[in-house]
Amino acid sequence: MSVLTRYRLIGLAIALVLFIADQATKTYILDGLQLQLGQSHYIMPIFQFTLTHNYGVSLGMFTATSQEMRWALVALTSVIAVVVTVWMVREKKLADIVPLAFILGGALGNIKDRYEYGYVVDFLDLHFGDFRPFLIFNIADAAITIGVVIILARSLFVSEKAPEEPVDTAPDTAESS
């Protein structure tokens, strides 16, 4: 197996693990804890599970107010997931594949929710008193955010080395004067 194939399989495995973790935690919130919309489960002073339904995409933007809009969001996010998959498969460095895998795994988790329920299940509630630095989110949202931050950081702070000149192994036939 080539190194590139191994990197791609690692990326797909990361995406799958994140998808499974996202769906497992949502199942725990809905079926294990049986939280109702708006209900919270205390974990620690700055963190709790609070069930919310997100009918939009990032930060609640583009809220789906009808079935047509719901399916349009499913289609749009599915196209984005396909684009991310193609991008991930074309990358050659593990450091570029991993953040795309985070985005893909998160996108798939949220697509499944929107397809199944009509909204995304959010429940992770980080707060400091009444101050919430983030909206209530889920593992898929965190994975997408981490992936995007890594891609942005790499594009801003990692300089790519120029490709090395190929080494000429043919004997030099030019005569010197």
Mean model confidence pLDDT for the chain: 90
How large is the average pLDDT for residues 58-87?
89
98 or 163, which is more confident? 98
Is the distance from CB of 105 to CB of 18 less than 8 angstroms? yes
Q: Is residue 110 part of a domain?
A: yes
- pLDDT at position 172, please? 53
Q: Where are any strands of DSSP class E within 9-126?
A: 40-44, 47-54, 120-126
Q: Is residue 171 part of a domain?
A: no
pLDDT at 61 > cutoff 60: yes
Q: How many domains would you assign to the chain?
A: 1
How large is the average pLDDT for residues 19-26?
98
pLDDT at 82 > cutoff 60: yes
Q: Is residue 163 part of a domain?
A: no
**Whether 141 is catalytic:** yes
pLDDT at 42 > cutoff 70: yes
Q: Is residue 162 part of a domain?
A: no
Q: Is residue 177 part of a domain?
A: no
Q: Is residue 170 part of a domain?
A: no
- pLDDT at position 57, please? 79
Q: Is residue 86 part of a domain?
A: yes
Place of tokens 């809220």: 63
**Whether 168 is catalytic:** no
177 or 10, which is more confident? 10
* Cβ neighbours of 24 (radius 10 Å): 12
- pLDDT at position 136, please? 94
The residue segments making up the domain with residue 34 are 3-157
Catalytic residue, candidates 22, 96, 125, 141: 141
pTM: 0.85
Catalytic residue, candidates 31, 122, 130, 172: 122
